[in-house]
Amino acid sequence: MGKVMEKKNITIICGVIVITAIIFLFLITANSTPIISSSEDKVASHFVSLFNISAGEEKFIFNANVTREELVNNGYEVITINDTYIGENPALSRAFEDGYSMIYHEDRESIFPLQGVILEYGGNFYHVLIGST
């Protein structure tokens, strides 16, 4: 009778261990969060910043009342944009809302050519700078 009880105890202990392991694995997988998004589109390694030159931002680089002619003469490319252009460029749209924006994979083709460019929008000049995180 002692050996039967011993086998029964071993079986119960093994069952408890298996059930505990299954619960543990379930909890790990249920609460795990991916470190890197499964979609490369939402991985950002750069950001774009807009500085409103007309409002006095970057006053050490540009004078307060800088004109388009002065910007061009100093070697800057000046691009006049409108609401449609901004709407077609999500990173630029976000940057106009907050002053800066993360650049996701899908934004790169449209936003990287604007590095260092001056955007003229709504009567104001904006200096575009792209940095890395």
Which of the 8 DSSP states describes residue 117? P
User: pLDDT per residue over 5-20, tens digit each?
Assistant: 677 777 777 677 777 7
* DSSP, residue by residue, 12-68: HHHHHHHHHHHHHHHHHHHH---SS-SSGGG-EEEEEEEEEGGGTTTTTTS-TT--H
For residue 37, the model assigns a pLDDT of 43
Distances in whole angstroms, Cα of residue 115 to Cα of each of 47, 59, 90, 98, 121: 11, 19, 16, 18, 16
- Dist. CA 57–CA 43, nearest whole Å: 29
For 13-22, 37-46, 77-86, which range has the lowest pLDDT when averaged over its residues?
37-46
pLDDT of residue 35: 44
How confident is residue 34, by pLDDT bands cut at 50, 70 and 90? very low
Overall pTM > 0.85: no
